[in-house]
Amino acid sequence: MPRPLWLTRARVITAAAAVVIVIAAVIIAVVGIEGNTHQGEPTPGTAQQNPPAQQIAPGTTDLQNLQKEWGPWQQLTPSDQSPQTGQPALLLLQTGGYFVSMSWTIPANSSGWQQDIGGNVSNVDVHGNYADITDADDNPYIVGINQPFIVSSNPDVVIKIDPTGNVWTMSLSQATALRLHLSK
């Protein structure tokens, strides 16, 4: 004798509800475990001179995290006649604007730099201690030679231009581990 249709539907609904409850319990357990595993432990890979990482609010963007973690920032207005870019500090290039970290730099001779293969800079023209560049979005900027900089459209990559015009990059997480506090 076939089962009534309402009984089959009830079993399907009950099974689906059980699956949802199990998934919710797993999510709560994982969030609880991850929230407790790193409390009180030093951030891996950070140098002793670095203060502990700041707590970043959930839902923030990578750019907002960068701005908070590497700030405070000062806006600059370099030009071809006055190309000062706040060297050696980290430079943030954002919507045509220049913002220099008042606290942090990444040494130009750090071992983490690798030749750029991602096309982060499409054009480089070296002029002594600075370079005119064009980023991947065709925005023109001026940067210091060997000065670490980040383009706001790709905040997870730190870039530098060497004296011969070669483009070098490293991940932001690696740069965070290698960064040095500027003493002013």
- pLDDT tens profile 42-85: 444 444 455 555 555 555 688 999 999 999 999 999 988 899 99
Round to whole Å and give the CA distance between 10 and 148.
62
Examine the domain organization and report whether 175 and 99 are in the same domain: yes
Lowest mean pLDDT, pick from 8-12, 55-59, 99-103, 137-141: 55-59
Taking the CA atoms of residue 129, residue 184, residue 67 and residue 156 in that order, the dihedral angle to the nearest 10 degrees is: 50
In a domain, 56, yes or no: no
Round to whole Å and give the CA distance between 141 and 183.
26
Examine the domain organization and report whether 94 and 168 are in the same domain: yes
Range of the domain at 138: 62-181
Examine the domain organization and report whether 79 and 154 are in the same domain: yes
In a domain, 54, yes or no: no
- Considering the entire predicted model, what is its pTM? 0.68
Per the structure, the count of domains in the chain is: 2
Q: Which two tokens stand for residue 177?
A: 């581990």
In a domain, 46, yes or no: no
What are the φ/ψ torsions at residue 145 (nearest 5 degrees)?
-65, 135
Examine the domain organization and report whether 23 and 74 are in the same domain: no
pLDDT tens, 33-44?
Answer: 555 544 444 444
Q: Burial letters for 143-180: b for 16+ Cβ neighbours within 10 Å, e otherwise?
A: bbbbbbbbbbebbebbbbbbeeeebbbbebebbbbbbe
